[in-house]
Amino acid sequence: MFAERRIAAEPPPSGVPTESRILSGADALREAMALCMERDERVFVMGQGVTDPFRVFGTTRGLLETYGPGRVVETPLAENGMTGVAIGAAISGQRPVLIHMRADFALLTMEQLVNNAAKTAWLTQGKLQVPLVVRMFIGRGWGQGPAHTQSLESLFAMIPGLTVVMPATPADAKGQLIAAIESPNPVIFLEHRWLHFTRGLVPAGHYSTPLDGPKVVRPGCDLTIAATSHMVVEALRAADALATAGISAEVVDVAVLRPFNPEPILMSVRRTGRLMVADTGWNTLGMGAEIIAIVTEQAFGALTGPPVRVGLPDLPAPSSPALAGDYYPTALTLFDRAGALLGLPPSRLAVSRNRLAALIAEIPVDVPEAGITSPF
């Protein structure tokens, strides 16, 4: 897939293995899980399907065989209760990783996450901690529709005390998941389902990608595109196309939505003077809205024009592929909005735009790979 070529692995910190392989996001996540369980016996995994034949899209493959049902805990269909169980285990010294195959299911768990996970360390002034990771999956596929695909990150990111992470590449997915599991804080880890299929360079062995905020994944000087999750992939595609028209877009992977560190985005906007946000979630009250608010408050003088917000329209996600095409913004959406932001005449962009449009047309709207021909 495109991302394989475009997204290079971050160089690992010194002193760790530098060997890298091309892996899928799912395999990168599985490696992270296995490494953490091997290194720390307090780490255990729980969720629906963690021991089933498909092993959560392969991300828990091999764990049951190695660690047994005591540390690979198949759970009843009781999302809220199991979240409380995970919190209790975390408070009592364990390091659970709880998995929901859809973020939509985690709506049932908001009481536990908001009232207990987010507040316990603050409430007890650090006497008790909640070293919990909740992996949950967002993103579209095979007509799953309005209650099976939602990008609910801003619901979690508005809660003080939670850490909210959205990996964009296989290498980051592994490093950020390791960092999340090793964190003493409750981490909501939102995986776009297409990330599981994205292939990219992934360093071998243990490494941790700090959960310290946004990072520039492609330098540029004409505009800043601050993107989350899969929209980083779309933003890099758009930046490639813009480059062929002589426009240099800087792409920032937001990565950590809470606690949010705006500095890398502010620094970028101070260089470029222009901001576009590309959000996997809804526009209204979304992460993109928050980023624009912060940049407007703190770097208003650096802006040469109004910021641009790209996200989902204020509608539930439709099932039909005929409707999904209009619903989800792509690299082409970003390309067009960037051209308008820069005030460039369409004639100057036409060749690059046509080429990008042809590329986009080849990519299915409802599956991450053309070879996928059934629900996944």
Partner 1 sequence: MPMLTDIPSALGLYRAMLRIRLVEETIADRYAQQRMRCPVHLSIGQEAVAAGVSAALASSDQIFSTHRCHAHYLAKGGDLTAMIAEIHGKETGCCGGRGGSMNLVDPDAGVMMSSPTIGSSIPVAVGAALSMQQRGTGGVAVAYFGDGASEEGVLHESLNFAALRRLPVLFVLENNGYSIFTPLDQRQPAQRPLSDLGRAHGIPAETVDGNDAGAVRAAAGRAVGRARRGEGPTLLVCDTYRQSEHCEPAKVFDVGYRTAAEREEWAARCPLTRLRHQLIAEGILTKEAEAALLRSLRTEVEEAFADADAAPFPSPVNAMEHLHVR
**Residues at the contact surface with partner 1, assessed by CB under 8 A:** 44, 70-71, 73, 75-76, 78, 80-94, 96, 111-112, 115-116, 120-129, 160-161, 163, 184-185, 259
Q: Which of 249, 179, 164 is nearest to 210 (CA)?
A: 179
What is the CB neighbour count within 10 angstroms for residue 369? 14
| Residue 148 known to be catalytic | yes
**Residue 292 CB, nearest distance to partner 1 (Å)?**
24
Least Cβ distance, residue 117 to partner 1 (angstroms): 10
Minimum CB distance to partner 1 smaller for 157 or for 233: 157
How big is the chain, counted in residues?
376
Pick the closer one to partner 1 by CB: 89 or 233. 89
31 assigned to active site: no
Catalytic residue among 31, 100, 148, 206: 148
What tokens does 78 get? 């009781």
How far is CA 159 from each of CA 118, 154, 156, 164, 168, rounded to the nearest angstrom? 7, 9, 6, 10, 22
Tokens, residue 288: 């993109």
In the complex with partner 1, which residue's Cβ is closer, 57 or 105?
105
Q: What does the block give as tokens for 29? A: 């996540």
Judged by phi (left if over 0) then psi (alpha if -120 to 50, else beta), residue 143 lies in left
Half-sphere exposure of 313 (CA within 13 A, CB side): 13
Q: How far is the CB of 300 from partner 1 (least distance, A)?
A: 26
- The nearest distance, CB 130 to partner 1, in angstroms, is 9
Closest approach of partner 1 to the CB of residue 118, in Å: 9
Cβ-based nearer residue to partner 1, 85 or 204: 85
Sheet-wide strand order for 133-138: 72-74, 43-47, 95-100, 133-138, 187-192, 163-165, 256-258
Dist. CA 122–CA 114, nearest whole Å? 12
Residue 292 sits at the vertex; the CA angle it makes with 287 and 298, to the nearest 5 degrees, is 125
**Rounded to whole angstroms, what are the CA distances from 24 to 4, 21, 43, 217?**
9, 10, 23, 19
- Minimum CB–partner distance for residue 158 and partner 1 (Å): 14
Residue number with CB closer to partner 1 (25 or 186): 186
Sign for the pseudo-dihedral over CA of 212, 164, 262, 250: positive
- How far is residue 43's CA from residue 266's CA, in Å, rounded to a whole number? 37
Q: What is the 3-state secondary structure (H, E, C) of 102-162?
A: CHHHHHHHHHHHHHHHCCHHHHCCCCCCCCCEEEEEECCCCCCCCCCCCCCHHHHHCCCCC
Shortest spacing between CB 168 and partner 1, in angstroms: 22
Nearer to partner 1, 125 or 347 (CB): 125
- Pick 94 or 333: Cβ nearer partner 1: 94
Which residue in the list 31, 79, 191, 290 is annotated as catalytic? Answer: 79
Tokens representing residue 306 in the block: 């109004």
As annotated, the active-site residues are 79, 148
